Amino acid sequence: MSTTVELTRFTVAQDRTEAMLAARPGMLADFRADREGFLGARLVRLPGGEWLDVVEWRSADDFAASRRKGANLPGIAAFFATIAELVSAEEGVLADDAER
Write the pLDDT tens digit of every residue in 6-20. Answer: 999 999 999 999 999
> What's the whole-model pTM score?
0.92
Write the pLDDT tens digit of every residue in 52-79. Answer: 999 999 999 999 999 999 999 999 999 9
Spatial distance between the Cα atoms of 81 and 26, rounded to a whole number of angstroms: 13
The separation between the first and the last C-alpha atoms of the chain, rounded to the nearest angstrom, is 13
Write the pLDDT tens digit of every residue in 38-56. Answer: 999 999 999 999 999 999 9
Options 3.30.70.100, 3.90.25.10, 1.10.10.10, 3.40.190.10; CATH for 4-92 is: 3.30.70.100
Tell me what percent of the residues of the chain surpass a pLDDT of 70.
Answer: 95
> Residue ranges of the domains in the chain?
4-92
Q: What is the mean pLDDT of the chain?
A: 95
Contact 84, 16 (CB under 8 A): yes
